[in-house]
Amino acid sequence: MPIKLLFSVILFFTFSENIFSQDSTDLMNQLVNQSEKNKIHYAENTFKYTRVVDGHSVENLHKKVLDVRISHRFDPINSGIYNFFGLDVAVMRLGFDYGISDNFMIGVGHSVYQKTYDGFFKWRILRQSTGAVNMPITLSFVPTIAINTLRQFDSGKTTFGDRVSSVFQLLIARKFSETFSLQLMPTFIHADNISFDHIKQNIIAIGIAGTQKVSKRMNVNVEYYYQLPEDQAPGAHNVLSLGIDLGTGGHVFQLHFTNSLGMTEKSFISETPGQWSDGDIMFGFNISRVFQLGEKRKRY
């Protein structure tokens, strides 16, 4: 009897340990799963940078981050060997962007093209997420203002209002995987009176952009804007841009080809005279350097 009793006790503790261990594991898994459901998991790096090529992406600078951005655009490749296939002539835009918060940023810039001063703000209204909040898209609102300051239009008939244009955009993006994202950009433009021969000052366009991650530090981007035919000015064509993002620590290099010389929304969306089919392709590059002006943000 003592041997049988001892054997029974051993069996009891052996099986009870397995049962309790299994129950404990299941309970821990349930707690972890419940904790994950109570968290909000935001989509990170829908695009690599705050711009796709020229146009904005849904990405924002973080709070108290300053981005100094220098953009270059050369003449068309079809200008020939005399012009070194466009590389002899370049226009530039110098911009300063700043993150007020993680969801709100502002920026100003100056372009050699049409001697344009521009400013904008970007407000991220919704952010793609899973978990406690299931949001399928990221939504941002971007209004932009630009002022053409060319002296050739100085006259008693030209007012300040004739030089001002404004653009209002919604950016609707979704990150479909760790490597691929798409973005739609419905756009309303109120053009100025001096930069181009616009039939209508109010222009509606729709843009589409995509990015494909190739490696940890490189993305390939495509950006295209379509203008409603009834709003399109004579001699203006839709803009198509192809670009590559290269990240190197605090710097971002963007190399691209496009048929637009302008680098503000009003210019490249509604005032592009060149076409890819005619060889009006321009090479350009952007250099971005970011500076953390406050305490380094915490990851969330």
Report the pLDDT averaged over residues 5-19.
52
9-18 contacts at long range (C-beta below 8 A, 24 or more positions apart): none
Tell me the mean pLDDT in the region 3-8.
Answer: 56
* Domain residue spans of the chain: 1-38, 43-292
Give Cα separations from 72 to 129, 187, 214, 243, 254 (angstroms): 35, 24, 24, 13, 10
Contact 242, 218 (CB under 8 A): no
- pLDDT surpasses 50 at 114: yes
The per-residue pLDDT for range 50-70, each reduced to its tens digit, is 999 999 999 999 999 999 999
Q: What is the mean pLDDT of residues 130-144?
A: 95
Distance of CA 132 to the CA centre of its chain: 26
Torsion of Cα atoms, 150 then 156 then 159 then 163, to 10°? -20
Average pLDDT for 157-170? 91
Q: What is the DSSP letter of 272?
A: B
Nearest alpha-carbon partner for 205 in 233, 180, 182: 233
- Does the pLDDT at position 13 exceed 60? no
Residue 61 is given by DSSP the state P
pLDDT of 72 > 60? The answer is yes
Is residue 31 predicted with pLDDT exceeding 80?
no
* 2: pLDDT strictly greater than 70: no
For residue 86, what pLDDT is reported?
A: 78
pLDDT of 245-260, one tens digit each?
987 766 778 999 999 9
Judge contact between 71 and 92, C-beta under 8 A: yes
Q: What is the mean pLDDT of residues 183-187?
A: 98
**Residue 267 and residue 109 in contact, taking contact as beta carbons nearer than 8 Å:** no
Residue written as token pair 């409603």: 228
CATH code for the domain defined by 43-292: 2.40.160.40
pLDDT above 50: residue 290: yes
Average the pLDDT over 30-55 and give the result: 81
What is the per-residue pLDDT across 76-105, written as a single tens digit (0 to 9) for each? 988 888 888 778 888 999 999 999 999 999
Its pTM stands at: 0.83
Q: What is the mean pLDDT of the chain?
A: 87
pLDDT of residue 37: 65
pLDDT above 70 for 299: no
Tokens of 293: 């002006």
Residue type, 201: Q
Res. 1: pLDDT tops 60:
no
User: What band does 32 get if pLDDT is binned at 50, 70 and 90?
Assistant: low
pLDDT band at 112 (very low <50, low <70, confident <90, very high): very high
When mean pLDDT is compared over 70-84, 175-189, 276-290, the highest value belongs to 175-189
Find residue 290's DSSP bridge partners: 67
